[in-house]
A and B are shown apart, each in its own frame.
Chain A
Amino acid sequence: MSGSQRLATDVAIDSSASVRNLPASRQQVSPAMQAIGVDIVDVQRLQALYSRWQEGLLTRLFTDQEQTICRKASGYRWYSLAGRFSAKEAVKKILASHGEIAGWTEIEVLNGPYGEPSINLYGRAKSAVERLGYSCLILSISHDANLAIATVMAY
């Protein structure tokens, strides 16, 4: 049994027990969480890498659309780029825990209608997620004090 399967079993067992301070109507069995990935990126470190390798680095890490979204008149929005980089790494961690791999530009982080980050998958990333049976990836990104952090949940 894999780690994620064990986790799924644990969640299923726990969810059958009553939860204190929650009305009975709210105590429904939610979908079992399958996997979680988290990553943190130093924004200045990413900027330093860009200073050294210029556009070649960004082309390697980000799709054209991501670069366009994160561009402003005076350059790039580095917190946004760092957040996207950490999100990609968080997805890669989930895939790696199942022996799967994906390239940086095979994971794309764009924005939904409310500005919320959303993930598009291509190539190996897409086929790996399908193979693993995940139907949804949920992403949250935050940044402050020169750090960007991303959490991805897959179920």
Chain B
Amino acid sequence: MKVAIAGAGAVGTFIARDLAAAGHEVHLLEKEAKVVDRLRSTTVNVHWHAIDACEYESLDLAGISDVDVMVAATGDDEDNLVISLLAKQEFAVPRVIARVNNPKNHWLFDETWGVDVAVSTPHLLTALVEEAVSVGSLVRLLSLDGGARLVELTLAADSPAVGRSLAQLAVPRDASIVAVVRARHVIVPHGDTTLAAGDEVIALVTGEVEEQLAALLAV
């Protein structure tokens, strides 16, 4: 996949490294030449462009016309909206993801500005709860340093976990169920919390237990 990321702040650089490590073709766009010079050597297999991603010509030069995904990840909401609009409207980028810095601006981040997915870290969980998450499959929400991952699974009606308490489930050692969301309310889980169909189970996992957990919860 070819991905362009605008903004080489902590967020943009982190995503760029992650995606490059996963084998994607990553282009990182940053308007401050000094930042580009400082960080270029800290990344591997990332194509750096010292350009202003809010300018049509710059985006064209960076090859936006054939990227699969554009991530507007600058620390400025206005810039992120304009970058998203240009990517979608002028370059017809199939998937545009934009970072929301100030939650007050969240309402602006929609198709009107070319945004397919808006991500504001404090809103990540609630957004996923409000959006119908695909039932029965494990979705990775967040990768943390040290290999820990936050994952989410919506229980199908015929899941073997439905009707059982967490204590009965025998969750593997390297996994911890941190929340159960039922009808948009967050339940802090205890051993005697009984799972129901439609529950969204959020768990923190490390190492290789992701599949074991999926086997416990999914059909």
Is A bound to B? no
